């Protein structure tokens, strides 16, 4: 992670997923802190996320927890967002001292807040509508220098001066043609895909791949950042995924991510890049959906019985650690079921007052639209609404992929 | 987590996701031993407040029946957490298993 950069992960509420947040957090900021400081950061983040699972969501699993980390000149900022029960904790100086006299008087609970306050330099709580935000700041031992020319070959200035308009146009055309203009025809499935880059090109990438009449692969990925640099790396990932799928016939989505990550991690990591990805496979003969996620926003599954739910079982993002095992999950995918995957450009849209949309409006829109419309019309409507809310200039690439069984 | 006679060895992390398992195991070991229980941290690099809470609870149960609880082989990371929370004050902490066993055997 470099100066000015922000990294995010969204997981569903469970104590197991708190470990994923901790892992994500440490990998992002490990080069800036001493081991002692890293342990303090891990403690504060784990305690804060545990509190969300236990108190904000009352241990109900499947609710969203968003964690983001951003790198500033003299500090790293960590924020945890939830939509559960709001809790405004007492300020640090009002936390009662523990009585150490008798063992039976020493409490078993209630240390978490003390640990958060003692480990971070600043701690603040906010509420925005039904969103609860915890912001924690840890000062850097050594302030950072501005190294915005860290990637000279991909800075916009270089692109503007050295690349002729025509070459730029060629790059844009190439990028756009890699994206699926039209989803493949498959009996029994309706498909939707759409992407809108914030700049001319972007780091979001979608693909469908029909390997036989009964098998459809689909993927959606989001490379860090936007513009040409992100597009460049998304093309790299496209070829890695495709190679793995062509070389190995019988393979699960988790194995595809594991192998593709092994191929790409070193090249991504050298430039401080990373990506999230969701890969799905539908087997029509067996009525099965199998999938794997590399830190990607949880897709939304609609069934008549359960309305909407999040498919939230993420492993670590790609491009950081070449030895990462991605797990495959399977569930039945029956007539009437709809699945929508998207990139965080949608949940990160900020309204006129600066608040982030988050996942709630998207869940609401899916619940409403999927009941009354087919996947194509429903996704188109939600996508258009997202574009309207975000205004003329997109802040991030927005992409969506939809699959319906009929 | 692996148990042998009067010892429970904690895995790499003791946190809210595996604390219930640890507590059940430790309390059952404690019940079966006449003198007390040794909790071995030699593999452990992280413990959160839920993990610390379970140790306080085990200590209380042990004290009620006049048994001992010994914590051994704390890594620098785990020691740091005990110092931050000042919990080192209430636990008997030993740097080697042998020392703890000696205490247990009187």
- Answer whether residue A374 is part of any domain: yes
pLDDT tier at A150, thresholds 50, 70, 90: very low
**A85 and A187, same domain (yes or no):** no
Question: Are B56 and A107 a contacting pair at CB < 8 A?
Answer: yes
Question: Are A103 and B13 a contacting pair at CB < 8 A?
Answer: no
Of B13, B49, B76, the CB nearest to A111: B49
**So what's the pLDDT on residue A101?**
72
**So what's the pLDDT on residue A78?**
96
**A189 and A321, same domain (yes or no):** yes
Phi, psi angle pair for B22, to nearest 5°:
-60, -45
C-alpha–C-alpha distance, residues A308 and A344, integer Å: 18
Domain boundary among A104, A139, A174: A139
Domains for chain B: give ranges and CATH numbers: 13-104 (3.30.750.24)
Domain range for residue A257? Answer: 183-405
**A209 and A97, same domain (yes or no):** no
Arithmetic mean of pLDDT, A141-165? 57
Q: Is the pTM of this model over 0.80?
A: no
Of A50, A118, A119, the CB nearest to B50: A50
**Which residues on chain A are in Cβ contact (under 8 Å) with B77?**
35, 39
pLDDT tier at A351, thresholds 50, 70, 90: low
Domain boundary among A139, A167, A201: A139
Q: Per residue in A285-317, is it b (16+ CB within 10 Å) or e — as a string?
A: eeeebbbbbbbbbbbbbbbeeeebebbbbbbbb
Of A39, A104, A115, the CB nearest to B49: A115
**A187 and A265, same domain (yes or no):** yes
Among candidate residues A269, A259, A249, A266, the one with its CA nearest the CA of residue A326: A259
Is the Cβ of B78 closer than 8 Å to some Cβ of chain A? no
- Answer whether residue A346 is part of any domain: yes
CATH of the domain at A19: 3.30.565.10
Arithmetic mean of pLDDT, A276-284? 95
**So what's the pLDDT on residue A162?**
57
Highest mean pLDDT pick, A32-46, A352-366, A385-399: A32-46
Spatial CB neighbours of A304, under 8 Å, sequence gap ≥ 6 = A336
- Answer whether residue A171 is part of any domain: no
- Write out the residues of chain A at the interface with chain B, using a CB-CB cutoff of 8 A: 14-16, 18-19, 35-36, 39-40, 42-43, 46-47, 50, 53-54, 98, 100, 103-104, 106-109, 111-112, 114-115, 118-119
What one-character-per-residue DSSP string does A36-65 give?
A: HHHHHHHHHHHHHHHHIIIIISTT-TT-EE
Of the residues B50, B67, B87, the best mutation for testing chain A's interface (the one with the most A CB atoms within 10 Å of its CB) is B50
**A77 and A226, same domain (yes or no):** no
Do strands A275-283 and A307-310 pair parallel, antiparallel, or not at all (unpaired)? unpaired
Among candidate residues A77, A114, A107, the one with its CA nearest the CA of residue A92: A114
A3-7, A351-355, A364-368, B54-58: which has the minimum mean pLDDT?
Answer: A351-355
- Answer whether residue A318 is part of any domain: yes
CATH of the domain at A293: 3.60.40.10
Domain boundary among A79, A106, A139: A139
A36 pLDDT exceeds 90?
A: yes
Q: Find where tokens 């790499």 sit.
A: B12
Is the Cβ of B14 closer than 8 Å to some Cβ of chain A? no
ipTM of the complex: 0.93
User: N- to C-terminal Cα distance for chain A?
Assistant: 44
Q: How many domains is chain A partitioned into structurally?
A: 2
A264-273, A396-405, B21-30: which has the minimum mean pLDDT?
Answer: A264-273
User: Which residues are registered as beta bridge partners of B105?
Assistant: none
Arithmetic mean of pLDDT, A266-275? 81
**A121 and A205, same domain (yes or no):** no
pLDDT tens, B72-90? 999 999 999 999 999 999 9
**So what's the pLDDT on residue A5?**
76
**A115 and A231, same domain (yes or no):** no
Arithmetic mean of pLDDT, A75-80? 94
C-alpha–C-alpha distance, residues A337 and A300, integer Å: 11
- Answer whether residue A32 is part of any domain: yes
Of B46, B48, B90, the CB nearest to A50: B48
User: Minimal Cα–Cα distance from A366 to chain B, Å?
Assistant: 31
**A126 and A238, same domain (yes or no):** no
- Answer whether residue A154 is part of any domain: no
**A59 and A191, same domain (yes or no):** no
pLDDT tens, A172-197? 787 777 766 677 889 999 999 988 88
- Answer whether residue A166 is part of any domain: no
Mean pLDDT of chain A: 85
pLDDT tens, B19-74? 999 999 999 999 999 999 999 999 999 999 999 999 999 999 999 999 999 999 99
What percent of chain A has a predicted confidence (pLDDT) above 90? 42
**So what's the pLDDT on residue A103?**
79
**A129 and A190, same domain (yes or no):** no
C-alpha–C-alpha distance, residues A315 and A295, integer Å: 6
Length of chain A in terms of residues written:
406
pLDDT tier at B1, thresholds 50, 70, 90: low
- Answer whether residue A165 is part of any domain: no
**A198 and A101, same domain (yes or no):** no
pLDDT tens, A299-319? 999 998 888 999 988 888 898
């Amino acid at each position: 992670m470099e100066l000015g950069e922000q990294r995010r992960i969204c997981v569903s509420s469970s104590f197991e997923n708190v470990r994923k947040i901790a892992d994500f957090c440490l990998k992002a900021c490990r080069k800036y802190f001493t081991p002692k400081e890293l342990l303090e950061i891990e403690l504060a983040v784990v305690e804060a996320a545990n509190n969300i699972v236990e108190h904000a969501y009352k241990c109900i699993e499947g609710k969203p927890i968003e964690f983001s980390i951003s790198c500033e000149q003299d500090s790293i900022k960590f924020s945890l967002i939830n939509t559960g029960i709001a809790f405004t904790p007492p300020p640090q100086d009002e936390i009662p001292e523990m009585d150490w006299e008798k063992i039976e008087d020493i409490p078993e609970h209630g240390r978490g807040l003390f640990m958060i306050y003692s480990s971070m330099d600043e701690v603040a709580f906010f509420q925005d509508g039904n969103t609860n935000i915890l912001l924690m700041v840890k000062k850097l031992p050594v302030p950072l220098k501005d190294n915005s020319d860290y990637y000279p070959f991909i800075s916009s200035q270089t692109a503007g001066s050295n690349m002729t308009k025509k070459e730029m146009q060629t790059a844009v055309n190439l990028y756009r043609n890699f994206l699926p203009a039209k989803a493949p025809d498959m009996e029994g499935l309706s498909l939707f895909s759409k992407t809108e880059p914030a700049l001319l090109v972007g780091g979001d990438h979608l693909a469908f791949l029909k390997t036989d009449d009964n098998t459809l692969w689909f993927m959606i990925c989001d490379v860090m950042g936007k513009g040409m640099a992100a597009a460049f790396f998304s093309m790299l990932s496209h070829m890695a995924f495709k190679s793995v799928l062509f070389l190995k016939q019988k393979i699960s989505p988790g194995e595809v991510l594991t192998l593709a990550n092994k191929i790409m991690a070193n090249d991504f990591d050298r430039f401080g890049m990373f990506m999230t990805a969701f890969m799905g496979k539908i087997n029509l003969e067996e009525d099965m959906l199998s999938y794997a996620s590399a830190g990607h926003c949880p897709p939304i599954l609609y069934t008549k019985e359960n309305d909407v739910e999040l498919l939230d079982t993420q492993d670590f993002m790609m491009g950081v650690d070449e030895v990462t095992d991605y797990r495959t999950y399977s569930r039945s995918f029956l007539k009437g079921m709809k699945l929508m995957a998207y990139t965080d450009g949608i949940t990160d849209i900020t309204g006129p007052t600066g608040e982030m949309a988050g996942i709630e409006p998207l869940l609401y829109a899916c619940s409403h639209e999927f009941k009354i419309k087919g996947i194509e019309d429903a996704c188109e409507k939600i996508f258009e609404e997202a574009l309207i809310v975000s205004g003329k200039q997109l802040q991030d690439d927005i992409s969506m992929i939809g699959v319906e069984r009929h | 987590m692996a148990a042998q006679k009067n010892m429970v060895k904690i895995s790499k992390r003791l946190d809210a996701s595996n604390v219930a398992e640890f507590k059940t195991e430790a309390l059952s070991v404690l019940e079966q031993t006449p003198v007390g229980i040794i909790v071995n941290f030699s593999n452990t690099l992280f413990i959160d407040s839920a993990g610390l809470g379970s140790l306080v609870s085990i200590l209380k149960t042990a004290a009620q029946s006049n048994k001992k609880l010994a914590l051994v082989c704390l890594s620098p990371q785990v020691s740091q957490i005990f110092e931050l929370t000042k919990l080192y004050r209430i636990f008997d902490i030993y740097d080697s298993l042998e020392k703890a066993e000696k205490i247990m055997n009187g």
